[in-house]
Structure formats: C-alpha cells, structure tokens
C-alpha cells in the first residue's frame, strides 16, 4: 500500500476556545509528542505540528495509520480514554483532501480573520520544526512547496493580502505612519488596559519591535504579568487617573468601562502626541482632538479602514479559490506521476551501467561526463514511450545511436 498524507484538526470552526485549549501543545512539549507518535506509529514518516491560538493540527505521512487512530491517540494522551471529543476534530485520510485543507488554512480562507497574514508565518515555523526533526517527508515537502507557491500567487495576483483586519495591528501600524521611520521604534508608548486587545497589541508588536512600551491597568498584577511576558514596563494606575502622561508619544486606550479616562495630554515636542482609542465606551475624551499637539483616532475611524479591507478580501475569495484549485491540480498530477518517477530512478541505474559497459570499448569516449550525457538522453527517450521499459537489445541500439551523436 502507498503512503498517504493525512491530517487531524481541531479549530475555531469545530470547537470553542475552552475546548481548543485542552489540545493546545506548548512549545516545550512538541518534541515529546513527536517522539511518542513515532514510537506508537512506526509507519509515520513526515509530520507537521501546526499550533496556533485558533487551531491544533497534525499533518502526517503514513501507510497504515489512519487519521482516526492518531486523533484517538491524541485524545487518550490529553484527556484520557473515551471518544467524547472525537466530534471536535475534522480528519482527512487522502493526500488530495489533506493538501486541499492545508491550502485553505495557509491562504487564510479558514482563519477566524479572513485572509489572516499570520498563519503563513506560523506554518513556516512549524515546517522548520519538522525539518529539524528530520520529518519533512516527500509528500509533505511537496505540499509545503505548493503552499508557498500558492501564497506567493495570492499575494501577487489578488488583493486578499492587502491591509489588515485587526484593530490592534492597525493601531501599531498607525505609529509607523505617523512618525519618521528612524524614530518610530524609539517612541514612548502607553497601553492602557490588560484585556484581549492589549494582549493582541503585544503579540503584533513582534512585527514592529517597539522597545519603549509601558502598560497600565486597574489591576496592577495583570499589568505586571504582561510586562514580564513581553519585556515592557508597568505604569502606575494612579498616574493614569491623574493624567500624568509626561513624555509619552503614543497613548492607546483599551480599558473596559473607563469613560473619558484620558482628558489631558502633555505638551508636545516636535512631533504630535498620537492618541488611539480602541475602547467601548471610549477611554479618550473627544475634546483632546482640539489640541493642535494631538492626533486622535477612535474605533470608528479605524473600523472604516478595516471594513474597506474586508470588502477587498471578500471580493478576492473567488480568485483565491481558483489559485488553490490550480495548484492542487499541479500537486495531484505530481502525485499521479510518482510510480513513473520511482521506475525511472531505478531504471536510470540500469541504463547508466549499460552505457558504462558500452563505452568501455571506446577509451576516447569513456569518461563520466559522456556517461552522464548518454544516460540522460536515453532516459528522455524512455519518458516519451507509452511503455517505458526497453529490452536489452533495444537499449543497446538506442545507446549506440546516442553515442554516435556525440
């Protein structure tokens, strides 16, 4: 039986956050899980672990091990024996359906945020881990080439990658749009709050590398936890309430139930103070926009840009699906030609030996380059035949013919 590329997946499409958290695989546990899978399923070759906040997926090559078997193994090792979690997983056992699923995921079609640009970076990171474990596998390796080619085509041929649909990412992007590129990274930035939006701000900062970030929150322990995790600094909530924002260049409000928390801003230097309000109700008093030293953007202003991005991405879905269909066809054709490639790889060894034997009678032409040239010509002839195999007599005739052309 031939190998197949298979997958199991638990994602935002099949399970709640609480249910997905159970199957989240921390970075430090991945190697151990891979070792357990290899020890339990000896026929598993290529293997890819894709773990994000929205999904945990395992892609693997195997002859006999099914996606259901690996799913049940993961459930057993995670929550114990039982099948109550099976319905939370989607599975695939054919190479074609697995590659199609991977292309939909990598493109952002299956993301909670349509066209999510983060997923392709997460897949690349996951594949680097596979390579490090020597688990890339031939089917998986070709699938990853297809993923990267599709990603490039989607970026170049559609508007599906244009802009962002994340308010947190957009907020950080506005900093780079407001200030000179050379000075933007050094700006003193204050995040107000410690909820999901602020966590996203910290997450997306990996793309911007702002280094002078403070975080202030009513519950200081939460602010301290975020500051420790992301190498930021804690700003006293008392100073926030007192509107003591001296020297801050950027203030991003994202605290819940804190209406008009920011009423005054510091006197500006050369550059204006950038105020970004991501909270509902608003954290930043609208009157601050009257200050000539301030630039105020609220959630409505940002959302207008994001809505335009969403419309562009939605309009591009058809073209993205067409690209995926085309690249999946190319992969399928490659897969179908696998038996011929295997035959030719073995047959080439035989042809090479026959060419070597033939040229041994002619010392002037018997060298490695000539052997290679003639062998390649014979193999090209073989590829054009309906029945590629040749009799020894016919092979000798073709070899003599090709040698005569040198």
Kindly give the confidence (pLDDT) of every residue in the chain, 406 residues in length, as a single tens digit, with 9 standing for 90 and above: 589 999 999 998 998 888 888 898 988 899 999 999 999 999 999 999 999 878 999 999 999 999 999 999 999 988 765 556 899 999 999 999 999 999 999 999 998 778 887 789 889 999 999 999 999 999 999 999 999 999 999 999 998 876 666 788 889 999 998 998 888 888 999 999 998 889 989 999 988 999 999 999 999 999 999 999 999 999 999 999 999 998 899 999 999 889 999 998 876 667 889 999 998 788 999 999 888 889 999 887 887 767 777 888 899 999 999 999 999 999 999 898 777 777 777 778 887 888 888 887 765 566 788 888 888 887 788 777 766 777 777 767 777 777 777 6
Q: What is the pLDDT of residue 164?
A: 64
Return the CATH class of domain 4-157+313-336. alpha beta
**Domain 167-297, what fold?**
Rossmann fold (3.40.50)
Q: What is the pLDDT of residue 280?
A: 78
List Cα–Cα distances, 142 to 66, 232, 324, in angstroms.
Answer: 20, 41, 15
Q: What is the pLDDT of residue 269?
A: 64
Residues 6+ apart with CB under 8 A from 22: 78, 79, 85
List Cα–Cα distances, 225 to 17, 199, 211, 219, 238, in angstroms.
Answer: 21, 11, 17, 10, 18
Place of tokens 């939909």: 104
Q: d(Cα 325, Cα 308) in Å, to the nearest integer? A: 27
Q: What is the pLDDT of residue 169?
A: 87
Q: d(Cα 196, Cα 216) in Å, to the nearest integer? A: 14
Q: What is the pLDDT of residue 366?
A: 66
């Amino acid at each position: 039986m031939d190998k197949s590329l298979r997958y199991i997946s638990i994602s935002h499409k099949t399970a709640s956050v609480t249910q997905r958290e159970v199957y989240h695989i921390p970075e430090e546990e991945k190697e151990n899980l891979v070792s357990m899978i290899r020890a339990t399923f000896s026929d598993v070759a290529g293997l890819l672990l894709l773990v994000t906040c929205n999904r945990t997926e395992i892609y693997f090559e195997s002859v006999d091990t099914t996606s259901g078997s690996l799913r049940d193994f993961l459930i057993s090792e995670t929550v114990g024996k039982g099948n109550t979690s099976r319905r939370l997983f989607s599975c695939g056992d054919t190479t074609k359906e697995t590659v199609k699923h991977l292309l939909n995921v990598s493109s952002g079609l299956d993301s909670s945020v349509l066209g999510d640009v983060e997923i392709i970076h997460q897949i690349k990171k996951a594949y680097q881990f596979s390579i490090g474990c020597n688990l890339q596998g031939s089917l998986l390796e070709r699938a990853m080439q297809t993923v990267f080619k599709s990603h490039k085509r989607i970026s170049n041929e559609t508007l599906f990658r244009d802009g962002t649909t994340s308010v947190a990412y957009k907020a950080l992007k506005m900093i780079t749009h407001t200030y000179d590129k050379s000075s933007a990274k050094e700006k003193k930035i204050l995040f107000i709050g410690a909820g999901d939006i602020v966590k996203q701000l910290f997450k997306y900062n990996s793309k911007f590398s702002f280094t002078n970030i403070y975080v202030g929150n009513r519950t200081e322990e939460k602010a301290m936890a975020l500051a420790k995790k992301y190498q930021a600094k804690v700003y006293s909530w008392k100073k926030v309430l007192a509107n003591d924002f001296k020297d801050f260049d950027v203030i991003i409000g994202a605290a819940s139930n804190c209406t008009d928390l920011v009423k005054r801003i510091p006197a500006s230097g050369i550059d204006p103070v950038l105020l970004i309000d991501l909270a509902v109700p608003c954290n930043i008093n609208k009157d601050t926009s009257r200050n000539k030293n301030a630039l105020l953007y609220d959630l409505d202003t940002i959302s207008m840009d994001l809505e335009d991005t969403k419309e562009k991405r939605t309009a591009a879905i058809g073209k993205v699906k067409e690209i995926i269909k085309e690249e999946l066809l190319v992969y399928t054709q490659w897969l179908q030609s696998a038996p011929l490639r295997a035959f030719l790889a073995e047959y080439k060894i035989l042809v090479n030996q026959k060419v070597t034997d033939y040229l041994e009678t002619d010392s002037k032409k018997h060298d490695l380059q000539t052997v290679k040239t003639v062998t390649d010509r014979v193999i090209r002839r073989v590829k054009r035949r309906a029945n590629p195999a040749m009799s020894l007599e016919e092979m000798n005739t073709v070899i003599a013919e090709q040698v005569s052309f040198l």
